[in-house]
Amino acid sequence: MAPDVAKEHDSYSQLKAFDETKAGVKGLVDAQVTEVPHIFHDPVGTLENKIPPASASDFAIPIIDFTGVHGDAASREGVVKKIKDAAEKWGFFQVINHDVPLSVLEEIKDGVRRFHEEDVEVKKSYFSRELSKRFLYYSNFNLYSSSPNNWRDSFAIYMDPNPPKPEELPEACRDDVLEYSKHLMSLGCLLFELLSESLGLSSEILKSMGCMKGVLMLSHYYPPCPQPDLTLGTSKHSDHSFLTILLQDQIGGLQVLHQDCWVDVSPLPGALVINIGDFLQMVTNDKFISVQHRVLANKAGPRISVASLFSTSMQPNPTVYGPMKELLSEENPPKYRDFTVPEYSAGYLTEGDHDASHPSYFTI
């Protein structure tokens, strides 16, 4: 057997052995591994050679206070201006005083942790990579096609349209997921209104286009890593969504690529992280930007996060999207061809390496 073929065969065997445990990365940590298995190694040198994080004094993710957003027109306009600036320059911002109760945020994080720390036999019953399932637990969705794999376990739920019945959700996180999702939809509605206004358009326009049609909730569990310099919690990528609302705990590790520097998104108690997704960049014809981000592995942990993507992903959705006519002109012609969310997502999810910006495949 040729060396390259033998190496590929060995990697596949390792992947298969890991996958068949259905215990995820947490299973490795529970087994007290002291070295990160090769299937999780980031390519040699790429972690060392990555641009060092910018210091906090040079760059800081915008923080936007939503106090008064439902009050007088001047207060709302002030918030809209800050969102416009953040969406155009950063693609990321944090929101505070957003009306989602702190107790709800804490309970969903606790619920995610409870599920991932359940007995492995309980979790195995939910283990799947079939996107048709209402609730699926897995470690690395593209385990066999992605290189490298990430130091995390996850569960995914399609919360909209057609949310799961309560009995389809694990008892460990059922009530917390359902309560959080109510507040999530309300905040999402407000964010799309404010983003519409920041484009100088009617507050209802993004919603009327179907940008809120689906919500995919991804709940991640990042176990402590014995050799964090060898792997990543999440590889560099942008989101296949219109908008993503992220809840993170206090461990840290999320970084955003801004002006060729990795900038920490420092955890802020009670805050939610908002980022523009690929679809919103495309329908605004690059007025808003969807940027690359990643999560570092950490010796501390577990780190808990809940990312809610406004996207139907691979679920049926015949709506055709493209650059908004209201934003186009002779000076600003369309940069992207029309697309459907399933068409885009199919390519995105099968693409093993997200170093390239996926919207570039849809440019005219």
pLDDT value, residue 314: 83
With 80 as the cut, is the pLDDT of residue 53 above it?
no
What pLDDT does 358 receive?
A: 85
Query: In this predicted model, which residue has the larger pLDDT, 149 or 51?
Result: 149
**Structural element, H or E, at residue 96:** strand 92-96
For the chain, the average pLDDT equals 92
The reported pLDDT for the residue numbered 6 is: 47
pLDDT tens digits for 67-100? 989 989 999 999 999 999 999 999 999 999 999 9
pLDDT at 349: 74
Going by the DSSP 8-state scheme, the letter that residue 167 receives in this structure is G
Confidence bin at 3 (pLDDT 50/70/90) = very low
pTM over 0.85: yes
* Residue-level pLDDT at 2: 46
Q: Rounded to whole angstroms, how far apart are CA atoms 197 and 195?
A: 5
Q: What strand order describes the sheet that includes 293-296?
A: 232-237, 293-296, 254-258, 261-264
User: Once rounded to an integer, what is the mean pLDDT over residues 280-291?
Assistant: 98
Q: What is the pLDDT of residues 305-334, one digit of tens each?
A: 999 999 998 888 999 999 999 999 999 999
Closest to 91 measured CA to CA, from 298, 306, 297, 237: 237
pLDDT confidence of 205, banded at 50, 70, 90?
A: very high
The pLDDT of residue 214 is above 90? yes
C-alpha triplet 135, 136, 142: angle, nearest 5°: 145
CB 111 within 8 A of CB 176: yes
Which pLDDT belongs to residue 44? 60
Separation between Cα atoms, residue 251 and residue 267, nearest integer Å: 7
Percent of the chain with pLDDT over 90: 80
Q: Tell me what pLDDT residue 49 has.
A: 54
